[in-house]
Amino acid sequence: MRSLILVLGDQLTPTLTSLAGADPARDRVLMAELWDEAGYVRHHRKKIAFLFSAMRHFAAELRGLGWTVDYVTLDDPDNRGSFTGQLDAAIAQHRPERVVVTEAGEWRVRRMQESWAARFSLPVDILPDERFLCSPASFAAWGAGRKQLRMEYFYRDMRRRTGLLMEGDQPAGGRWNFDAENRKPARADLFMPRPRGVAPDAITREVLALVEARFGDHFGDLEPFWFAVTRADAEAAFAAFVETALPKFGDYQDAMLAGEPFLYHAVIAPYLNCGLLDPLLVCRQVEAAWRAGRVPLNAAEGFIRQIIGWREYVRGIYWLKMPGYERSNFLGHTRKLPGFYWTGETDMACVRAAVTQTREQAYAHHIQRLMITGNFALLAGIDPHELHEWYLAVYADAYEWVELPNTVGMSQFADGGLLASKPYAASGAYIDRMSDYCGGCAYEVKQRTGPRACPFNALYWDFIARHRERIGRNPRMAQMVRTYDKFADAERARIADSAASFLAGL
C-alpha cells in the first residue's frame, strides 16, 4: 500500500487535500470514533451523535467513490482510543509507505500530527486545509504591521478577494456593512420557519443507541435528533433556509424570543465546521438569491459577513496566537462557572432559556451566546478558561479554532482587546430590548439594585467599577465609566452590595 490517509471527524469533504492527490486503487483511508476525541471535554451527547453518524455516512460516501475505508467504531475491539494509537495499529497492519493527513483544525491535534513522523519512522505529509478561504499564513501577512486586527477591515479584503457582493471595486449598495439595520427585536409568529430536520436512518439510530449507552452521563438531550448527517441533507437544509428564513435573517439576527430557539437563523454551522457544506459555495448561493431579488441586501450581507468575515477571521486569530491564547485572562477573572450553566436552574429567565435550549438542541444563536451566557460570565467574573471549555463542550458547531477566539476574545475580553474593540458587557436593558425574556422573569429589569432587581444591572455597574482603570481609556467604554463616577456614594454602595450579595449566592 502506498499511502494511509487519516481523515478526521471534521474533515468530511471528498475534495479534502489529503484525498485529492491520492489514488483509490493504491491508497487506503482510515477513520475512527475515538474516546480521546469524544471526551477531552465532556461533549454534548447530541454533538457526539451528530459527528459519529456524519462520519459513518461519509465513510459510505467514500466507499461509493471507490475508496477502501478502514472505519473503526467506538465499540470495535481494535479501537485504540486515540489518533496516535489508531495510526500505530493501522501502520502495523498495512505497512504503508507514508501517512497523509490534511492539517488538523485544532492546535492539540496539530501537535500530534507533527510528532508522527518521528514516532513511526515514516514520512507524514501534512497538507494545508484548503476548505478555508484564508490560510493562517495569509492572515498573518494581512495582520503584519497593523496596530489593531479589526475584523471589519479583514472582511473588506475578503470581499475584494472573493468578489462577493461587489460592484466593480465598490461594495454592493454603497456600504460594506449593514449591521445597523440588523438589530430589530422580533415578535412571536405562528408561521416562523423552522430548520429542515431529517428523521434518523438506520445508521443514525445505531449511533444514538451507542451514545445513549456510552455517554449517558454527558450533558445534553440526545433526542429528538434532527440534524442532517449527509452532504445531500445538509445542502437541502441550507436551501430551505435560503428559501424560507434568509429574507428576514438580517432584520432579526440579534433578536431572542422565549420558546423560539432558531428564529430566522440557518443553523448550518455544524455542517460547515465538519465539512458537509462548502463555505464559499453557500455564500455564492446567498449572493445569487440577492441578485435574483429573493432576499434583501442587509440579509445577504449579514450572512456572508459571518462566513467570509467572522468565521475566517477568528480562525486567523486562533492560529496567530496559539499556543497560549487559551489561557488569556486580561481582567483577572477567577470565579468558578456556576452550576446553572449545566442545569438551567436559575430565576434569571434569559439564562434559563439559553441553557435549557442548549441542553435540548446543542445550539444557541450568536446573541444568546454573546449577550446572555457570555455577558453574564463577563459581569460575574467567571474564569474565561472554564467558560471556554463549557462552550466547547455544549454546542454541536464548537471546535476550538472557532469557539476559543469567540469566547476569550469577543465574549470575555480576556485577550485585552486584540479581537474585540470593547468588552461586550450589557445590563438588563439590552436583554429587555432584544428579547421577551424579561416579561416572564422573577427579577425586575428596571430595578438597578435590591433583592428583586435584575442581576445583570448591579453586576454591570459593579463590572465598570472593578475594571474602571483597565477599561476607562477605551473610547467605547469611557462614557459608562464617567456615568458611574457621577453616581452618589450611596448608590455606588448599593450597587456593590447588590452585586456582592448575588455573587455570594452562586
Reported as a single tens digit per residue, the pLDDT across 199-243 is 999 999 999 999 999 999 999 999 999 999 999 999 999 999 999
CA distances from 71 to 7, 35, 278, 373, 410 (A): 10, 15, 24, 38, 38
Reported as a single tens digit per residue, the pLDDT across 277-303 is 999 999 999 999 999 999 999 999 999
Reported as a single tens digit per residue, the pLDDT across 363-411 is 999 999 999 999 999 999 999 999 999 999 999 999 999 999 999 999 9
C-alpha–C-alpha distance, residues 63 and 51, integer Å: 18
Q: Which residue among 72, 93, 127 closes a domain? A: 127
Instruction: Kindly state whether residues 116 and 155 are assigned to the same domain.
Output: no
User: Quick check: is 326 in a domain?
Assistant: no
CA distances from 142 to 149, 152, 166, 171, 401 (A): 9, 13, 20, 20, 18
User: Quick check: is 224 in a domain?
Assistant: no
Q: Which residue among 271, 291, 321 closes a domain? A: 321
Instruction: Kindly state whether residues 251 and 292 are assigned to the same domain.
Output: yes
What is the mean pLDDT of the segment spanning 68-87? 97
Instruction: Kindly state whether residues 392 and 306 are assigned to the same domain.
Output: no
User: Quick check: is 445 in a domain?
Assistant: yes
Residue type, 25: A
Q: Which residue has the cell 434532527?
A: 226
Instruction: Kindly state whether residues 393 and 286 are assigned to the same domain.
Output: no
The predicted structure's pLDDT at residue 473: 87
CA distances from 431 to 19, 249, 438 (A): 47, 19, 8
User: Quick check: is 283 in a domain?
Assistant: yes
Instruction: Kindly state whether residues 478 and 415 are assigned to the same domain.
Output: yes
The predicted structure's pLDDT at residue 190: 67
- CATH code for the domain in which residue 447 is found: 1.10.579.10
C-alpha–C-alpha distance, residues 142 and 134, integer Å: 10
User: Quick check: is 208 in a domain?
Assistant: no
Residue 160 in this model has a pLDDT that exceeds 90:
yes
Instruction: Kindly state whether residues 83 and 151 are assigned to the same domain.
Output: no
Instruction: Kindly state whether residues 282 and 310 are assigned to the same domain.
Output: yes
Q: Are 349 and 438 in contact (CB under 8 A)?
A: yes
What is the mean pLDDT of the segment spanning 342-352? 98
- Whole-prediction pTM: 0.96
Q: Which residue among 103, 127, 151 closes a domain? A: 127
Q: What are φ and ψ of residue 29, in 5° steps? A: -100, 140
Instruction: Kindly state whether residues 361 and 499 are assigned to the same domain.
Output: yes
C-alpha–C-alpha distance, residues 465 and 477, integer Å: 12
- Cis, bond preceding 195 (omega within 30 deg of 0): no
What is the percentage of the chain residues whose pLDDT exceeds 90? 93
Q: Which domain holds residue 288?
A: 136-193+245-321
- CATH code for the domain in which residue 168 is found: 1.25.40.80
User: Quick check: is 230 in a domain?
Assistant: no
Instruction: Kindly state whether residues 263 and 367 are assigned to the same domain.
Output: no
Reported as a single tens digit per residue, the pLDDT across 85-141 is 999 999 999 999 999 999 999 999 999 999 999 999 999 999 999 999 999 999 999
C-alpha–C-alpha distance, residues 4 and 62, integer Å: 14
Residue 173 in this model has a pLDDT that exceeds 80:
yes
The predicted structure's pLDDT at residue 187: 84
Residues in the chain: 506
Residue 83 in this model has a pLDDT that exceeds 90:
yes
As given in the structure block, the three cell numbers for residue 65 are 467513490
User: Quick check: is 289 in a domain?
Assistant: yes
As given in the structure block, the three cell numbers for residue 63 are 466507499
Instruction: Kindly state whether residues 180 and 292 are assigned to the same domain.
Output: yes
User: Quick check: is 256 in a domain?
Assistant: yes
Q: Domains in the chain: how many in total?
A: 3
The predicted structure's pLDDT at residue 327: 97
Query: 191: which residues sit within 8 A by CB, 6+ positions away?
Result: none
